[in-house]
A and B are shown apart, each in its own frame.
Chain A
Amino acid sequence: MTTDQSNLQMKIRPAVYSDLQKIIDLDAEVSGLAKNEYWEDRFNRFTERDGRHLIVAASSVLGDVHESVLGFIVGEIRAWEFGSRPCGWIFAIGVSPDHRVQGIGEQLFGAMCDAFKADGANSVRTMIARQDQLNMSFFRAQGMMGGPFIELEKPLD
């Protein structure tokens, strides 16, 4: 998927290895935490694997081969956890703060849902911290609502 904006082109596409450092840098900017090993592991386990998807929004100046990564989304098909039928799970999304409110997150979400549908899933889920109003509002604006499961946890002392 390609979007033109004057001489800037944006593409929504599967991530390739040359995107890795850009994703690490973008995630560090958005989350405040650099997670090099985490993203290297994600790349190894999520690129070119059935049912697993790491998708980026890549932008370049027309005619230039160098691309910036403006956003990313990561998800996979999960099945049969506590009786849950196969469905798509989104567990990371990030958009460059300088490029928000431009529909990039929406396009990434749409691309991930298309990938899940192609995998045979008919629903998509995610898990968001209660205080994370930004992502909570974003996913709700994409039509997501409270699902049939509740996250439970306990400290291990």
Chain B
Amino acid sequence: MRLQKATHYGLYAVLELAQDPSRQLSATDIADIYGISSNHLAKVLRDLGRAGLVDSVRGAGGGYRFSGNSKRTTLMDVINIFEDIGSDSSAASDPGDETDIGGALLLVLGEIDDIARATFGSITLDTLIKTMRWRQEREEKLET
């Protein structure tokens, strides 16, 4: 599945910062790491700030710092700032939805949406960062 660009940028930024909450990074620093637009990322960081996940630090050497709770914040919490995944209330009905085939197809799409929401909702920022580290350790172990 594909996430919207802003959502992706938001996840990159919040996960990068959550790795070390004592560290400050500018929008340009983060954009350089992920090869993305710093202008677009700056807007995303403002949205993350309004959601209470990052704090901006003013002045020389300023930037952004993670201010949330990485053990309680899930990927779904971040995604919800930027888009709705399969929310019934957000989906406008399409022509054909009221037909039998349309209804059967909606069941299948609903199943996929339910799985996506359950998956994103069960992975905290802390868990994703730990998963990344476990994978790195496993790859290093397999190489030796």
- Chain A residues in the interface with B (C-beta under 8 A): 130-131, 133, 136-137, 140-141, 143, 145-146
Q: Please indicate the chain B residues that have their CB under 8 angstroms from the CB of A136 in the complex.
A: 118, 121-122
25 contacting pairs across A/B (C-beta < 8 A) = A130-B114, A130-B115, A130-B118, A131-B118, A133-B121, A133-B122, A136-B118, A136-B121, A136-B122, A137-B74, A137-B122, A137-B123, A137-B127, A140-B122, A140-B123, A140-B124, A140-B127, A140-B131, A141-B124, A141-B126, A141-B127, A141-B130, A143-B130, A143-B131, A146-B119
Least CB separation from A143: chain B residue:
B134
Least CB separation from B74: chain A residue:
A137
A145-B131 contact in complex given A137-B124, A140-B123, C-beta closer than 8 Å? yes
Given contacts A130-B115, A131-B118, A133-B118, 10 further A-B contacts (CB under 8 A): A133-B121, A133-B122, A136-B121, A137-B127, A140-B122, A140-B127, A141-B126, A141-B127, A143-B134, A146-B119
Q: Please indicate the chain B residues that have their CB under 8 angstroms from the CB of A131 in the complex.
A: 118
Least CB separation from A101: chain B residue:
B71
Count how many chain B residues have C-beta atoms less than 8 Å from C-beta atoms of the other chain.
15
Q: Could you tell me the distance in whole angstroms from the C-beta of A149 to the nearest C-beta in chain B? A: 13
Q: Could you tell me the distance in whole angstroms from the C-beta of A137 to the nearest C-beta in chain B? A: 5
The 4 A-B residue pairs with the shortest CB-CB distance in the complex, in nearest-first order: A136-B122, A130-B118, A141-B127, A137-B122
A114 to B114: give the CA distance in the assembly, Å: 33
Q: Could you tell me the distance in whole angstroms from the C-beta of B124 to the nearest C-beta in chain A? A: 6
A143 to B131: give the CA distance in the assembly, Å: 6
Q: Could you tell me the distance in whole angstroms from the C-beta of B44 to the nearest C-beta in chain A? A: 25
Q: Please indicate the chain A residues that have their CB under 8 angstroms from the CB of B114 in the complex.
A: 130
Interface string of B16-30 (1 = CB under 8 A from A): 000000000000000
